[in-house]
Structure 1
Amino acid sequence: MNRKLAAAAAGALLAPVLVVANPAGIASAHGYVNSPASRQAQCAQHTVPCGSVQYEPQSVEGPKGLKSCNGGLARFAELNDDSKGWHATPVGRTVTFTWTFTARHRTANYEYYIGNQKIADISGNNQQPPSTVSHQVNLGSHTGRQKVLAVWNIADTANAFYSCIDLQVS
């Protein structure tokens, strides 16, 4: 019994030191496109039935350079399923995408793709963003149903955050 008490006391004393000594790491940044509703936003809003991403839509994080909706994470694989019944937001040729950040991190840039074509690249100026950021993106000649991949590239890690947004472009 005394060993358990001593271990608990040591843990309680050591925990604050570890929190202060441990620098802000990769897990300190989280974000996703909230408007128009990305696939993970639709999961969080219960528009489409989903697994664990409904509880943490901001956590679709993976290595930079991916072109997948799930950021390479098997637990969020359903975000890659184009037949799942995602709601496509009606838009014109220019769309304002709004990112919501639950934890902010210095930003290299934001990239937007339709298929393998990059349609926008917006600098983050190596700055920490406010709690929301909006970008106006011209979709060019794309019409009809389109899936946009939005990528938030973190400045000081090898990771990025991924969001796919389904649009009906008129």
Structure 2
Amino acid sequence: MRRKISSALLGLGIAAVSVLATTSSAQGHGYVDSPISRQQLCGKGTVTGCGQIVWEPQSVEGPKGFPGSGPADGAICSGGNGRFSELDNPRGGAWPATQLSSGQSHTFTWRLTARHNTADFRYYITKDGYDPTKRLTRADLEPQPFLTVPFGGVQPNETVSHSGTLPRKSGKHLIVGVWSVSNTGNAFYACSDVRF
């Protein structure tokens, strides 16, 4: 009887370790919650047909150095991660958009499921004349971020909020949030569809 119980407990222990080992990489990292990002819209079920991002909205990780390097044009919203390519699909311009006021202050919020030492958070916005029915390229974005929040290598809290003034824009646009990790070669990407 003791041998059966010991074997059962050992089996449960191995199963628990296996689950932890296979899910540690899927615990992910972070996403933009305000204005709501495409991956969060998928994670909440607001948008369907999103593929694997539904289970990992926090995992849009790709090479850092954007816009000089990083994900290729047309794959910016997925961070160049093919598993999440549905985020790059413009869906005919039908992604739900957060209503924002041009030229006003906005508080940007990231939810972090794994905190990393951080270089900075940067926000880019599309140029006037942006076509939301096409995949995003660097040529669609203003060349400089409209907001940069330096972090100096500090590890942020699980919720990170910072305020900045929105550019003067009208109509539908896309904001690309980039969270650059300071001690790895990667960054996290989040695309938020907005309407001014």
TM-score category (smaller protein): 0.7 to 0.9
1:8-35 Cα deviation digits (max 9, x unpaired) = 9xxx7xx8xxx9xxxxxx9886111012
Q: Does 1:74 align with 2:73?
A: no
Q: Which moved more, 1:61-70 or 1:123-132?
A: 61-70
Unaligned 5+ runs, structure 2: 1-6, 126-140
1:90 to 99, 109, 126: 99
Amino acid aligned to 1:98: T
Mapped to 1, the partners of 2:170 and 2:181 lie a distance apart of: 30
* Contact 2:26–2:56 (8 Å) recurs in 1: no
* Contact 2:171–2:195 (8 Å) recurs in 1: yes
Mapped to 2, the partners of 1:28 and 1:157 lie a distance apart of: 17
Equivalence for 2:116? 105
What TM-score, normalized by structure 2, do the two folds share?
A: 0.70
Amino acid aligned to 2:169: H
Amino acid aligned to 2:96: H
Amino acid aligned to 2:37: S
Equivalence for 1:22? none
What TM-score, normalized by structure 1, do the two folds share?
A: 0.80
User: Counterparts of 1:22-101 in structure 2 under 5 Å?
Assistant: 30-49=29-48, 50-64=50-64, 65=66, 66=70, 68-83=76-91, 85-93=94-102, 94-101=105-112
1:122 to 138, 149, 152: 149
4+ runs deviating over 3 angstroms: 26-29
1:113-164 Cα deviation digits (max 9, x unpaired) = 0114321111012100001011223222222111000000001001000000
Mapped to 1, the partners of 2:155 and 2:79 lie a distance apart of: 21
* Contact 2:123–2:146 (8 Å) recurs in 1: yes
Mapped to 2, the partners of 1:78 and 1:27 lie a distance apart of: 18
Mapped to 2, the partners of 1:29 and 1:121 lie a distance apart of: 23
Amino acid aligned to 1:87: P
Amino acid aligned to 1:140: P
1:44-94 Cα deviation digits (max 9, x unpaired) = 011111110010000000001236110001111111112262110111133
* Contact 2:27–2:113 (8 Å) recurs in 1: no
Mapped to 1, the partners of 2:58 and 2:111 lie a distance apart of: 8
Q: How many residues align?
A: 152
Q: Identity of aligned pairs, percent?
A: 43
Mapped to 2, the partners of 1:35 and 1:163 lie a distance apart of: 11
